[in-house]
Chain A
């Protein structure tokens, strides 16, 4: 495992107040978050899963966009760290009554949260809130922009299976255009030195990806050749009925990850998916359920650990941890 890296002391290891995205992070900052997450993976496998680092702290999960998995993962992470966790769903909030995002942010701030986790449907919205509150803000996904904890949990999964990420060939396939997971993973994996390939139907490929140090493909078979990791993205059903893709079956024909197609990749290639999956569209069940290759449930497990690490590290300043004040 590639955890021999030496990190700067104290807060120099992660000198940021918020986690808004992977873009702009240094490689050692990412590796530090991953290393810190390892201890929580171990804790989470014990029968008693309680740590007390965040005792007495309040964490608000403010989700302006529907989510089951990510919200649950953050809630579990906060609770296992000992924090009081409160979830705010957009459906129950005054957003529906016309309150602006800034007013909501100011309100959350006035309730003296110690960390706020935000998901919002609009790119840049989380940064907007972070500028208005005093406590650390964690981006749990903003529009098509970034989903940093997803990229971190993916990197942790890869690192635990494959060792050093540097030098690996990693193929990301699917709706890259609308995917914050793709953007955060591109930033994260290229920063860590992986060779990243991006594959999508042309209408779902954003322009200028080559400027982000990735290799671009529209032919999935060519992209797969020799890949060490294959990361599939979810295709929203509303995009596969003529707007971007003619039909789900055509998408499966050209971009579905089948057992046969997977043979084009490296013999030990990992198969990843951020979930929830469209079985039979972007990924076949026999691939998704192949315990030797698929890391899909492991990704979910790593997600909790990574989020515990992020909550711990971002609150170290306010908790007055030595070297972080």
Chain B
């Protein structure tokens, strides 16, 4: 079964940019990119001049939420190990790999330590054989530097990247906000933003020692980004990511105790937000993901400090990230490297890019279609978005997983 997408703007890499032409698939895979001759037996799909882009590979979601992913153009999602029970056994990896198939692929991330407690290594090798492609410390920081050192050695020897959460837990110590005027006015327990840089600095030192590939899941401060930038210039095998909330919102969003804006790491000050945008523009940040974590009223309709962190982000990911293109910070090709190609590379899957021989995970995008974010009308399992009411531009019009329309 083949398909032929014609009259499309094909979103290539940052170097290639947007190409006009057609794309042919054969079975699950992309067969040709940019060809012009329609194959006689193919299904011909007229794209009406819209963008045909690689499906989004959402790295580090907290739940497999198919309606939200399909709304947002996500064709693959890497599931965080912070589940109940924790993804720290091979059977858990196997079970969670099957969730969502065939129209959504889930890549469960192996917990680095048993129960994510940061005390003992989990069975990472067995989980790799069960299908895990990356390892993560989850939403926790491993305080024990000795254990972290051994973990990195181990991941390096197994050729698995390690995704880390960067907040020094001793400095954070129960804080629910970043120290600053907003937290002081609201009377919320807060920690200095440097808790992030502190933990990144230690982990970079251990990367230098072990040469393990570390991906810093969300880097949200100027100091943290400066450390990553320097490490990259020294050739260390590190990458980092961010969510739209951290480059679009500052801690002012938690005013009035808005628990939908309680995130982990917490929203930062305006200077740090600006630094995040600069780091996206200069290539320091490699991946933009949603951190999708739908939470119902039982977790969010609580006093701020008692609520759970996290936001439902999958369906707003593309529209919010498109702002970067509209503001001229990055090209559309670069945007899909951040959303699709780079996370796919980290997961070591042949997907996330319009390349012959890659998985035909495709989305048809109208980058100008207007809509409004509405917490009451979300496709996600819960509508906990801090972007309620925001006018957005950019909608997914069609989605294809492995060449098949969903």
Show the binding face of A for B, using Cβ within 8 Å.
Answer: 23, 100-102, 120, 122-125, 127-128, 142-146, 180, 183, 206-209, 211-212
Give min CB distance, B223 to chain A, whole Å.
16
Residue pairs across A and B with CB atoms within 8 Å: the count is: 68
Chain A residues near B301 (CB-CB < 8 A): 100, 102, 128
Chain B residues near A183 (CB-CB < 8 A): 185, 187
Is B186 at the interface (CB under 8 A from chain A)?
Answer: yes
Q: Which residue of A lies closest to B256 (CB)?
A: A127
Q: Which residue of B lies closest to A209 (CB)?
A: B184
Give min CB distance, A167 to chain B, whole Å.
25
Give min CB distance, A29 to chain B, whole Å.
19
Chain A residues near B149 (CB-CB < 8 A): none
Considering residues A124, A145, A209, A211, which has the most beta carbons from chain B within 10 angstroms of its beta carbon? A124
Give min CB distance, B170 to chain A, whole Å.
13
Cα of A146 to Cα of B190 in the assembled complex, Å = 17
When the two chains form their complex, are residues B302 and A123 in contact, meaning their CB atoms are under 8 A apart?
no
Q: Which residue of A lies closest to B306 (CB)?
A: A122
When the two chains form their complex, are residues A143 and B187 in contact, meaning their CB atoms are under 8 A apart?
yes
Cα of A211 to Cα of B251 in the assembled complex, Å = 15
When the two chains form their complex, are residues A123 and B256 in contact, meaning their CB atoms are under 8 A apart?
no
When the two chains form their complex, are residues B186 and A145 in contact, meaning their CB atoms are under 8 A apart?
yes
Is B183 at the interface (CB under 8 A from chain A)?
Answer: yes
Is B304 at the interface (CB under 8 A from chain A)?
Answer: yes
Is B298 at the interface (CB under 8 A from chain A)?
Answer: yes
Chain A residues near B35 (CB-CB < 8 A): none
Cα of A144 to Cα of B305 in the assembled complex, Å = 11
Q: Which of B279-307 contact A (CB under 8 A)?
A: 297-298, 301-306
Chain B residues near A180 (CB-CB < 8 A): 187
Q: Which residue of B lies closest to A208 (CB)?
A: B181
Q: Which of B161-191 contact A (CB under 8 A)?
A: 179-181, 183-190
Main secondary structure of the interface of B (DSSP, over half): helix
When the two chains form their complex, are residues B184 and A123 in contact, meaning their CB atoms are under 8 A apart?
no
When the two chains form their complex, are residues B180 and A123 in contact, meaning their CB atoms are under 8 A apart?
no
Cα of A102 to Cα of B302 in the assembled complex, Å = 8
Is B358 at the interface (CB under 8 A from chain A)?
Answer: no
Q: Which residue of A lies closest to B305 (CB)?
A: A122
List 10 contacting pairs A-B, 8 Å CB cutoff, sorted by A: A123-B188, A123-B303, A125-B303, A142-B303, A144-B187, A180-B187, A207-B179, A207-B181, A207-B183, A208-B181
Q: Which residue of A lies closest to B297 (CB)?
A: A102
Cα of A144 to Cα of B177 in the assembled complex, Å = 14
Chain A residues near B303 (CB-CB < 8 A): 101, 120, 122-125, 128, 142-143
Is B257 at the interface (CB under 8 A from chain A)?
Answer: yes
When the two chains form their complex, are residues B257 and A123 in contact, meaning their CB atoms are under 8 A apart?
yes
Contact of B186 among A100, A101, A123, A209 (CB under 8 A): A123
Cα of A183 to Cα of B192 in the assembled complex, Å = 20
Cα of A143 to Cα of B302 in the assembled complex, Å = 13
Assuming the contacts A101-B302, A123-B303, asked whether A23 and B185 have C-beta atoms less than 8 A apart, the reply is: yes
Give min CB distance, A198 to chain B, whole Å.
11
Known: A128-B301, A143-B305, A211-B181. 8 other contacts (CB 8 A): A102-B297, A102-B301, A120-B303, A123-B187, A123-B257, A127-B256, A142-B187, A207-B180
Assuming the contacts A123-B305, A211-B181, asked whether A144 and B257 have C-beta atoms less than 8 A apart, the reply is: no
Per-residue interface assignment for chain B, residues 240 to 256, with 1 indicating a CB less than 8 Å from any chain A CB and 0 otherwise:
00000000000000001
Chain A residues near B190 (CB-CB < 8 A): 206-207
Chain A residues near B257 (CB-CB < 8 A): 123-124, 127-128
When the two chains form their complex, are residues A207 and B184 in contact, meaning their CB atoms are under 8 A apart?
yes
Which 9 pairs across A and B sit closest by C-beta, in order of nearness? A124-B257, A144-B187, A122-B303, A145-B187, A125-B303, A208-B181, A206-B184, A123-B187, A211-B181
Q: Which residue of B lies closest to A125 (CB)?
A: B303
When the two chains form their complex, are residues A146 and B181 in contact, meaning their CB atoms are under 8 A apart?
no
Considering residues B190, B297, B303, which has the most beta carbons from chain A within 10 angstroms of its beta carbon? B303
Considering residues B187, B189, B257, which has the most beta carbons from chain A within 10 angstroms of its beta carbon? B187
Give min CB distance, A171 to chain B, whole Å.
19
Chain A residues near B186 (CB-CB < 8 A): 123-124, 145
Chain A residues near B184 (CB-CB < 8 A): 206-209, 211-212
Chain B residues near A101 (CB-CB < 8 A): 302-303
Chain A residues near B189 (CB-CB < 8 A): 144
Chain A residues near B302 (CB-CB < 8 A): 100-101, 128
Give min CB distance, B149 to chain A, whole Å.
30
Give min CB distance, A252 to chain B, whole Å.
26
Cα of A143 to Cα of B257 in the assembled complex, Å = 12
Q: Which of B233-282 contact A (CB under 8 A)?
A: 256-257
Q: Which of B297-328 contact A (CB under 8 A)?
A: 297-298, 301-306
Cα of A142 to Cα of B180 in the assembled complex, Å = 20
Chain A residues near B297 (CB-CB < 8 A): 102
Chain A residues near B298 (CB-CB < 8 A): 100
Chain B residues near A100 (CB-CB < 8 A): 298, 301-302
Cα of A211 to Cα of B302 in the assembled complex, Å = 28
Cα of A122 to Cα of B302 in the assembled complex, Å = 10
Considering residues B180, B181, B185, which has the most beta carbons from chain A within 10 angstroms of its beta carbon? B185
